[in-house]
Amino acid sequence: MDKGFTVGHRVRFHETDAAGVVYFANGLAICHGAYEASLSAVGIDLAQFFSPAELAYPVVRATIDFWQPMRCGDALKVWLQPQRLDGSTFEVEYQIFPDRPGDERPLARALTRHVCIQTQARRRHPLPPEMETWLHRWGDLANK
């Protein structure tokens, strides 16, 4: 995990289901929180980024696999790394780990694919400079 971005998360009660483990959709929400933190960490204003604007980055694909349960109160580390697919598309790989020294077994892995679009025309648009900066900082090219 030399490359990419890592942020902590503590599982809250409302993120769990009747079995006491993280509800599957909330696993993706935890990953999205890490995505937001990684954007903020490169200076992107989240209020502006997620407000109605000329450009948007809808998720067009999302998957998540769980290998171990995550329960209320568990301390987690969420690691992510974006990868450009083309001039307007990127994927973000996420891995969720327990936040315990020496415990590097992944609890879950997710992937989201995003497409930059011009909101009025609903057509693909090249990634703007701030997203290029984000991709370079946390992406697979960050340490090359």
Residues 95-109: pLDDT tens digits? 999 999 888 899 999
Q: What is the spatial distance between Cα 9 and Cα 124, in angstroms, rounded to a whole number?
A: 33
Residue appearing with tokens 């590097």: 104
pTM: 0.93
Catalytic site residue 140?
no
Give the active site residue among 2, 17, 65, 140: 17
Residue appearing with tokens 């209320």: 72
Q: Kindly list the domain boundaries of the chain, sorted by start residue.
A: 5-138
Considering the segment(s) 5-138 as one domain, its CATH architecture is Roll (3.10)
Residues 38-97: pLDDT tens digits? 999 999 999 999 988 899 999 999 999 999 999 999 999 999 999 999 999 999 999 999
